[in-house]
Amino acid sequence: MAMQQEIKTISDGAAKKYEFGRKILTMVQKNKIMHIRQLAECVEEDISTVKKEVKEFVFDERLFYAVEGGEENQDIIVSCEELKEKFHELDGHYKAFWIYLDFKAKANHVDFLTYDGLNYSNLFCAALSVNGEFIEILYVPKTKETDLSVLHNMERYLTEEDRENLHRIIVIDEESQIEKMKRFEVIGVDSYVLVESGGATKYIQA
């Protein structure tokens, strides 16, 4: 009887711990980034208990826990999904800058431009102004080729003049992506580019 009671106590404790952990994970994933104190107040637990649970999810690679300056009231927790999204943006920007340097070496007036607010901002990473001509740089990672459908739907009613003025370079991860992207008939694609981490570029004519 005592053994059964002990097993039930352990089982109840595990279930309670699981529910508490799920509550913390859901809260951070929903808000994307939280202060450790914000999280503790939301789940109504002390900071040390919450911090211990958070570190388990960090080990499981579902949360990222940053400590700024080692002060407890500076602890920041970020959803790893949010970090992946930001890394995609940074990776695209990084690769686009190598393309800018290529053009800078060959043209007289080249500016590197970035801006927000585009309807397809998940694809857009930068733009070049080359001797007065505007060139968009889009980044399409492997397995994300269908994201181009947004452009296809947005631009199918463009005038002939608008189409002629569109110039684009698409950064890809693998050459095999090109065939998958052709069906979206994206307007103004001049070339595709493979960019290695060290900056080497390979341009493939569209």
Give the start-to-end residue ranges of the domains of the chain.
2-67, 84-205
- Which of 161, 102, 103, 153 minimizes the C-alpha distance to 123? 153
Query: Residue 117's pLDDT is what?
Result: 45
- Beta-bridged to residue 138, according to DSSP, are 124, 170
- Beta strands in the chain, from DSSP E residues, in sequence order: 33-35, 63-67, 75-79, 110-113, 124-130, 133-140, 168-172, 189-195, 201-205
Residue 139: how many other CB atoms lie within 10 Å: 26
d(CA 169, CA 177): 14
User: Was domain 84-205 assigned CATH 3.40.1350?
Assistant: yes
Q: Mean pLDDT, consecutive 10-residue segments, the chain of 206 residues?
A: 46 70 86 84 87 84 71 70 76 87 84 62 77 86 87 78 85 94 89 91 93
Query: Residue 198's pLDDT is what?
Result: 84
List the CATH code of the domain at 2-67. Answer: 1.10.10.10
User: pTM of this prediction?
Assistant: 0.63
Query: Residue 64's pLDDT is what?
Result: 84
d(CA 34, CA 32): 7
3-state secondary structure of 141: coil
Q: What are the phi and psi torsion angles at 79 (to 5°)?
A: -65, 135
Query: Residue 83's pLDDT is what?
Result: 78
- Exposure string (b/e) for 26-49, b if CB count within 10 Å is 16 or more? ebbeeeeebebeebbeeeebebee
Query: Residue 202's pLDDT is what?
Result: 95
Query: Residue 108's pLDDT is what?
Result: 77
3-state secondary structure of 139: strand
